Each structure stands twice: as structure tokens, then as C-alpha cells.
Structure 1
């Protein structure tokens, strides 16, 4: 098997594939037509070389993936607006924001969405476990046990969250596209032609999946935060916020190593994340695989074009 530097994400009725400095989003519209949007993307690391260093590159990749993710989710949602909403006259609030921000409104909305997502994630996976473990401190006098309780609560919340959203019908379709994304990349890594029949043979699980990354972040946070001995609520909160970029950076390095390595240790470490993908992926149908193929071929063609330009 040949690892490839391609990542992806499932969106509403579609798939995004990213390779180096470009990404392509393929969407199956309500009329069954597949539309593709291809974009250039220049990482901030190209401007500031410091962010190409280990750990720092993971911190940056985490932020940039959030930005791209919100951008493509917004794009895919545009095809599935309720018809009544399309014909409705913009309200006063819509007119005000259009007047203030003009052509930059989409960027403002994406930026706001990223910030809101981060705040909600921090509330659910940092503040809530911290609050619960703080209530237990009188019963757990050892600070390591308090931090361990914090971590266990965080794991339970994370798994419960994934289980709950996996029961939603609309999310299940997104998870099918997630499966199509993984199966397509697995097919590419096995150097087989990107056809529906070939892709159907491959696993819907992948070691470099974002689900693996999130699980590693959760587990890594337990290890890192058990090392630091602070007991007051505000100090513990401050430590968690300050350590979050470090934890994300370390987790990124681990997920990249898992993608490259075929060692027994790597396979053992990858097992929990692969198991968890049984929740976050579903077997796709042929039409969903066709969408994944369209996105993947588009981004691969772009990469080939770049190689040809460089060779000239």
C-alpha cells in the first residue's frame, strides 16, 4: 500500500478532497447533478516558515482545517435551502449586515462560525468536564485522580456526543459520504483505478481520519494535564486553555505518523480510532461513491497540472 498526501471531509450531500495547495468539493444537487468547486489554498506556513516545524504545523493545520471545513459546509448548504427561503425578501438584519460588510459578508460569517464552534467545543469538552471533576475534588484528594476524572468525563462526553449525532437521519447520510471519502482514498493508496466497483471493495475506515485525530486529542489531553499539578478551578481552566494548542500539535504529529507507519505499535494505537469510525462512517451507495470520485479526481488533476508547470 502506498500512502498518499490526500485528506478529505464529508459535507451535506458531498465530499471535499484536499491535496497540498488545492481542494475540491463535489456536491450532489437535488436534481442529481454533480457540481464541483475547486479552490486554491495557500497555508499560512508558506508565509511564515516557523509553522512548518513539528508541533507548530499541527496547531496551524487544526485552525486551517476548521476554516476550510466551515467554508465548504456553507457552500454545500447553499444547494439545499428551502425554496420558500430563496424567494423570501431579505429581512432588516440581513440588509444591515449586507450593507456593513458587503462582499466580505461570507468571510465574516465563516469567521464567526469558526469562533462559535471553538467556543461550543471548549464549553462541552473543557468547561463541563472541568466543572464536574471540580465537584469531585473533595472525594479525590489526589490531584492526579482529579485530572483523571476530568479526562474520563471528557471521554464519556465525546463518545456520547458521537453516538447521539450518529442516530440523526441527516447526519447518517453525511457519515455515508464520510465512508465514501475513506473508501476512495483507500482505493487510491492501493493504486487501483478509481471506479465504483474497485472502491466498494475497500474499507470505510482510515488511520488518518479526523475522528482518530479528535480521539487522540482527548487521550493526549488526559496525559498532558495529569502532569500539571494545579487545584483551583481558574488555574485548572487556564492550564487547559494554554495547553490546548500544544495538545493539538502533538496529536497532529501522532496522526501523521500513524498514516505513514505500518509498525505493530502504530497499528495498536490506531485501533481505538478505527473502532470509533464504526460510529462516524456508514457504507455508501454507488451514487455517493461517484461524488467522492469526482472530488478526488479533480484534486489529483490539479496536482498533476502543478507538476507539469513546475517541470517546464
Structure 2
């Protein structure tokens, strides 16, 4: 019980499955076409663990380290799930069905690309997400007024608008909808575990698909933190290019602070009034998660249980 009260686990939805990260291992479980559950297990390297463990204890630095680590591990597990999916979809079939599958696989490639960009957004794609809204705001409102704080607020509104449209658009794709269902299944399992409930499909389904400690919440916090940070008088600009360059330079600071805000809102989620501080992230999760079915929850439970089992074995050894 002591372990359950202190252990903090995270996860990630993949194609037809879920990845969970433990202290010593990352485990992905995916549902194959024959309904069997396949596992992909990657132990953490001890040599790098000590150095990373030190960095992860440093406030404002640990967030950046966590993003880079998640990007590396996440893409690896996404590739495994995509390959498993591709193998299942290459079985001999009729010509008409083959054409349909080829179209579906093209969609998968597009969606997988979107998912990978989502994982890597804080090291590569985030630059675009930072630059484009600043550029658009400058073009549309640049000469309308001189108040920099108001410019920053409008930039934040444009960012949120683009983000919501992006998520709404990709959620219309059937495969991405299933990915969002697995995202919901991941959250339900973590919530059930943190509540001390037995991890059965019936029990897990009773929990919410929204969770305070989610990457979706982190994204919205980067927007809000950015608006505040950019408004400091020291971070002024004269041209649109200075404005964009400043956003890029301040990106590590925005990430580091946003991670601390995420941890803070998670720690305060049981306090009646302060729990509302995390609601913007929960609202965004209404788009990035969907209610999972029982089979998807079963895969998530299998991944989580296998991760904890291997975690114990590796810790003992």
C-alpha cells in the first residue's frame, strides 16, 4: 500500500494500445487482429538513470528533461504499435478489400505522423506552434494598438483557437478517434490505481477519462504561461522577427514553468477551491480523450499490470 500511495505513473496511447512508464521499464500492450494482446517491453538504462534522476529533481529543469525523454520513448513505442497494426492489415484479401485497406493504411500513416509530431511538439513542432500565432497576430493586429500585453493576450487566443481546431479536425478520423479512446483508457486505469481500486474492467470503467496530470493539460498551460511570461517588460520587441525569435528563446523557460504548474495543479486537485486551477487542462481533454470500450480498457489494464510486474522484478534484481 505504501508503494501505491507514493508511486506516480504516466502513460501514452498508441495505435490499438497503451504504453505505461514505470520506474525501471516502459511497457506497451496492443490488441492484435486475432484479439491477442502483444507486449513491447523496454527496460531503462541504468547508466543514464543516475544522471537523469539528478536532473529530474531540479525544478524547472525536470520538465524539459521529461519532455525529451517522453519524445524518445514515445516514438519508439508508437513505431512498435504501428508495425503491429501494419502486419495485421497485410493479410491476403480480395481486391476490393485490399484497396480499402491501402486507403486506411495511408490514413494511418498520416495519423501516425500527427501523433509523432504531437509527442515531439515540444522539441520541434512546438517552434511552429509558437511562431505561427505570433506572426498571425502581428499581421492582423500589429498596427491596431501599441499595448504589448493585449498583443500577447490576442496571440494566446489565436494559439488556443488553432489548437482546438487542430484537435477537432483530427478527431474526425476513425483511427484517431480510437487513439483518443485508448488515451481515455490510460487515464481511467491510472485514476483507478490512484484510488486504490482493484483493476478490473468493471471497476476501471467507473472512473473519469480526464486526469490532471496529462500532456493535454500541459499543452494548454504552455499557452497560458507564455502569455504571462511574454508580458514581462524585459521581454519587449520592435519587429515581428524579434517577437518570434524571443518566443523561441523563451521556449525552454515556458516548458519548465508549465511543468511546475502542472505538478502544482495536480497536487491541489483535492482542495475544493484550488482544484479549479486545473480545469483548463481537463476541458482540453474533452477533445483529446474519448470513452473507451471494455476491450480497450482490458488492454490498458494488461499494459499497466505488466509494467508493475516488471518494475518489481527489475527493482529486486
Would you say the 8 A contact 2:68–2:123 is kept in 1? no
**2:261 matches 1:254:** yes
- Between Structure 1 and Structure 2, how many residues are aligned? 283
Deviations 1:180-216 (A, max 9, x none): 1111111101111111111111111111011111111
Higher deviation after alignment, 139-148 or 68-77: 139-148
1:26 match? 29
Deviations 1:129-161 (A, max 9, x none): 111111121102222222222121111111111
Find the aligned partners of 1:26 and 1:163 in 2 and give their Cα distance. 27
2:226 match? 221
Measured at CA, do residues 83 and 161 of structure 1 come closer, stay the same or move farther in structure 2, by a change above 3 Å?
A: same
1:282 match? 290
Gaps of 5+ in 2: 93-115
Q: 1:5 aligns with which of 1, 4, 8?
A: 8
Measured at CA, do residues 178 and 113 of structure 1 come closer, stay the same or move farther in structure 2, by a change above 3 Å?
A: closer
Would you say the 8 A contact 1:45–1:51 is kept in 2? no
1:134 match? 138
Shift of 1:122: 2.1
2:12 match: secondary structure? strand
Would you say the 8 A contact 1:3–1:189 is kept in 2? no
Find the aligned partners of 1:116 and 1:207 in 2 and give their Cα distance. 20
Report 1:35-184 matches (<5 A).
Answer: 35-42=38-45, 46-47=50-51, 49-50=54-55, 52-81=57-86, 82-83=89-90, 118-123=123-128, 125-135=129-139, 136-184=141-189
State the Cα RMSD in Å.
2.5
Would you say the 8 A contact 2:55–2:65 is kept in 1? no
Shift of 1:114: 7.4
2:113 match? none
Find the aligned partners of 2:168 and 2:198 in 1 and give their Cα distance. 34
Find the aligned partners of 2:242 and 2:288 in 1 and give their Cα distance. 34
1:205 match: secondary structure? coil
Shift of 1:126: 1.6
TM-score (norm. length: structure 2):
0.82
Deviations 1:195-254 (A, max 9, x none): 111111111111101111111111111111122211212211121111111111111112
2:208 match? 203
TM-score (norm. length: structure 1):
0.83
